[in-house]
Structure 1
Amino acid sequence: MLRLMPVGDSMTIGSAGEHTWRYRMWQHLCATYGGPFTLVGPREALHDKATDTDTSYAYADPGFPRSHLAGWGEGWLHMADAIEDAVRTCRADVLLVSLGLIDLGFYTDPEQTADNVRRFVAAARAADPRVRMAILPVIPNIRAEADPAFATQVAHFNELLAKTIADLDAPGSALLPASPPPSYDIHTDTYDGTHPNARGEHRIAEAFATALHQAWDLGGPYTA
């Protein structure tokens, strides 16, 4: 059985009442992947905005494998310390990673964030030398639109991320750069300029699905 682990921040964990892009990805693979698969991870909850804690289970549709490694306000900095145990315990084969906005916004500069990407990859491989990873760059968000200096930081990190992925890609443990969602528009694909609405969930799932299909022949073309 193929075991995929979504790894991310608030855009991946989602909040109460949402489907999440994880659900959209599961739907896509149910329709296009020819073998058994599941989503894995040490966590299952959504973010509860009322209490500002990751404790809600109020999914719009709870009928899917809800496991993940994602957290509201967490980034590469945090996941680099959590990924080794998560991969080992959950026996993940493929990581679907969407991180970086939180790091750049609150914790680390582009170079430091890229260093944490390297720590993350090394830790995941320490748990399983054959683990594969599809990695999404930082996608458009309202802070980058409103703050040119921050937009420059995001663009610089995305360049460093692409180089890091190329440097660390290895036979038997591939690193796959996923392209940003096509035509992603923060005004129509998010509800607050950052977090995806239903349309945005599909677009993020599509970004991962397209990368997996084109590079690894895993699943098929994405259809909402």
Structure 2
Amino acid sequence: MTIGSAGEHTWRHRLWQHLCTAYGGPFTLVGPRETLHDPGTDAPTSYAYADPDFPRAHLAGWGEGWQHMVPLIGDAVRSCRADVLLVSLGLIDLGFYTNAEQTAENVRAFVAGAREADPRVRIAVLPVLPNIRVDADPPFAEQVTRFNELLAKTTADLDEPGSSLLLVPPPPSYDFRTDTYDGTHPNETGEHKIAAAFAEAMWQHWALGGPYGA
């Protein structure tokens, strides 16, 4: 949902566009990766962004979740000098790797790794959004609901004055039937809604950027 596929803008691009308009200070997107997922090779080898003229750096991976990011986040924060982390993870963990409680433990490990690299890093975390499997698989839906509850508790427990940990309210109108192209991955409207969720949270809580515009 964050790395995007060949031919897409990605919500990262939508957020960058917004910040270019709304933010008065210098900023850039950072991360050790730049590529998109290539459906033809099923690998992160594509640079075919719909609009390649933006800072494409990121840490996202197709099929990667909290457990995959835990061993990577410390080095990424140090090497890329990230001040703010925007995190949308969890669906793949719950779908294939870990239950809600295990996934929440990986959230704690992720935060610890990021703060070890930079004790003042700020982290904004989006809950798992509904997707087609949530709609069709009640036990999976229960795990998503449980994880989102644990995520809210975890962010509240770990929030610190010097290193803010923010739970981003999910986009209120987000609907996988209309905001994704396959029941999971965001289309243009979905990209804007995810970008808006992060943008509004950063503006309201950290005074970064401004209200999200079209």
Give the percent of matched residue pairs that are identical in Structure 1 and Structure 2: 77
Q: Higher strand share goes to which structure?
A: 1
Q: Which among 194, 213, 216 is matched to residue 203 of structure 2?
A: 213
Q: CA deviation at 1:107?
A: 0.2
Determine if the alignment matches structure 1 residue 84 to structure 2 residue 58. no
Q: Which among 134, 148, 161 is matched to residue 171 of structure 1?
A: 161
Q: When the two structures are superposed, what TM-score results if normalisation uses the length of structure 2?
A: 0.99
- Paired residue for 2:35? 45
Letter aligned with residue 195 of structure 1 = H
- Paired residue for 2:62? 72
- Paired residue for 1:101? 91
- Paired residue for 2:173? 183
Unpaired segments ≥5 residues, structure 2: none
Letter aligned with residue 67 of structure 2 = L
Q: CA deviation at 1:182?
A: 1.9
Matches within 5 A, 1:130-209: 130-209=120-199
- Paired residue for 1:57? 47
Unpaired segments ≥5 residues, structure 1: 1-10
Separation in structure 2 between the aligned mates of residue 23 and residue 117 of structure 1, nearest angstrom:
25
Deviations 1:52-110 (A, max 9, x none): 00010000000000000000000000001100000000000000000000000000000
Q: CA deviation at 1:187?
A: 1.0
Separation in structure 2 between the aligned mates of residue 104 and residue 185 of structure 1, nearest angstrom:
20
Q: Secondary structure at the match of 1:54?
A: strand
Q: CA deviation at 1:171?
A: 1.4
Alignment RMSD: 0.5
Q: CA deviation at 1:120?
A: 0.2
Letter aligned with residue 205 of structure 1 = A
Letter aligned with residue 28 of structure 1 = H
Separation in structure 1 between the aligned mates of residue 72 and residue 131 of structure 2, nearest angstrom:
26
Q: When the two structures are superposed, what TM-score results if normalisation uses the length of structure 1?
A: 0.95
Runs of 4+ in 1 over 3 A off after TM superposition: none
Q: CA deviation at 1:13?
A: 0.1
Separation in structure 2 between the aligned mates of residue 47 and residue 113 of structure 1, nearest angstrom:
24
Separation in structure 1 between the aligned mates of residue 24 and residue 149 of structure 2, nearest angstrom:
34
Separation in structure 1 between the aligned mates of residue 204 and residue 131 of structure 2, nearest angstrom:
26
Q: CA deviation at 1:149?
A: 1.1
Aligned length: 214
